[in-house]
Amino acid sequence: MEVNCEGCAGCCLDWRTLADTDLDHERRGPYEPIDDEYNLVALTRDEVRAFLDAGLGDALRPRLWYDWERADGAGGAVDGDRDAGVRIDGAPVAAVRGRPAFFVGLRRAPKPVAPFDRDAATWLPTCVFLDPETLQCRMHDSGRYPSECAEFPGHSLTLDVETECERVEGEFGGERLLDGDPPDDTTGPLFGPQALGQKVFVHPDPERLDGVVDRTVAGDLTAEDRAEFAAVAAASTPGSTAVNDDAYERACDVALDADSWVGEAVSDWRERAGGPGERATDAPLADRVERDRGAPDTPGW
Ligand code: SF4
């Protein structure tokens, strides 16, 4: 599968403010993400563990979904079947067996980027691992490169849905998707029961999540919120909703201790950024915000 990524990074940043069309493909199914991220990369349990082991727990964040279809206006469990939703902060949240379901993805930061051959950089929400200057991934050559990124857009091709490459082509022209055949060797999208505990995780205790929906909507999740979800994911059991308590405790400590270049860079970018799509005049150099704090280099094109 061949793609032309140079100068693009459409799958690594939120370019909705640059587009004329409505880019809302993540919000067309029965469940609507509670956060406003675009193209969240969902990590597997083993990938979450690898990030924690590398001291990069502060790069992780959860995604939960609204379950509007099951909302009945009552508090507590929304209905009694095995996929019943629950309410957190009054909102109906998608759940499995009455427990909130979630992904773990990578955090975003506003960075000064000039994708799609734009003349000048604008502030756009960007994956924490994207170097805003080369528009390359800082993890590409590491063992932590997420399988979803490595196989992108293989999953979309396998499912016969529009790829991000084609969305970029439709908006800005050029050729991004050079080979439309799905690869034979992807790990495949994890859906259904086999995804449980491997990519779709289930939180064992909704009462521990008071305030999480409100803070997600506000874009204001705390380090404790993020650590809670990362630890549950790391301690999950593939194929089930079980969470190992000891593994959870250990993972939670590791996640809370994480103090990597990523966390510092996110705070720094947020302090300095303009609004999404605003011209990034006088933006600081990525070297100063990221590389000087320990971010790995990218090879350049
Ligand atoms: S991990 Fe790398 S390839 Fe994946 S979204 Fe982030 S920057 Fe892009």
DSSP string, 105-147: EE-EEEEEE--TT-SS-EEEEEETTEETTTTEETTTTSTT--H
Say what the pLDDT of residue 83 is.
55
| Domain, as residue range, for 133 | 16-293
φ, ψ dihedrals at 79, nearest 5°: -150, 180
The number of distinct structural domains making up the chain is: 1
Say what the pLDDT of residue 190 is.
63
Higher pLDDT, 213 or 69: 213
Q: Is residue 11 part of a domain?
A: no
Say what the pLDDT of residue 75 is.
43
Atom of ligand 1 nearest to the CA of 127: 6
Q: Is residue 9 part of a domain?
A: no
Evaluate whether 131 touches 286 at the Cβ level (below 8 Å).
yes
Best residue among 5, 11, 12 to mutate for probing ligand 1's pocket (most ligand atoms within 8 Å of CB) is 12
C-alpha to C-alpha distance for 202 and 95, rounded to whole angstroms: 7
Instruction: Report the separation in Å between the CA atom of 127 and the middle of ligand 1, taken as the mean of its atom positions.
Output: 6
CA distance to 109, 112, 148, 155, 300, per residue, from 128 (Å): 6, 12, 16, 22, 17
Instruction: Report the separation in Å between the CA atom of 149 and the middle of ligand 1, taken as the mean of its atom positions.
Output: 6
Q: Is residue 298 part of a domain?
A: no
Q: Is residue 82 part of a domain?
A: yes
Please name every residue paired with 95 in a beta bridge, in sequence order, or none if there are none: 100
At 84, is the pLDDT very low, low, confident or very high (cuts 50, 70, 90)?
Answer: low
Radius of gyration of the chain from its Cα atoms, rounded to whole angstroms: 19
Q: Is residue 95 part of a domain?
A: yes
Q: What is the pTM of this model?
A: 0.93
Instruction: Report the separation in Å between the CA atom of 70 and the middle of ligand 1, taken as the mean of its atom positions.
Output: 34
Question: Any residues with CB less than 8 A from the CB of 155 and at least 6 apart, and which?
Answer: 148, 186, 188, 189
Q: Is residue 208 part of a domain?
A: yes
Average pLDDT over residues 271-282: 95
Residue whose Cα lies nearest atom 1 of ligand 1: it is: 129
Say what the pLDDT of residue 156 is.
86
Give the binding-site residues of ligand 1, using a 6 Å CB cut-off. 12, 41, 106, 127, 129-130, 137, 139, 146, 149
The region of weakest confidence among 172-181, 189-198, 216-225, 282-291 is 189-198
Higher pLDDT, 183 or 177: 177
Say what the pLDDT of residue 180 is.
80
Residue whose Cα lies nearest atom 2 of ligand 1: it is: 137
Average pLDDT over residues 54-80: 77
Q: Is residue 8 part of a domain?
A: no
Q: Is residue 7 part of a domain?
A: no
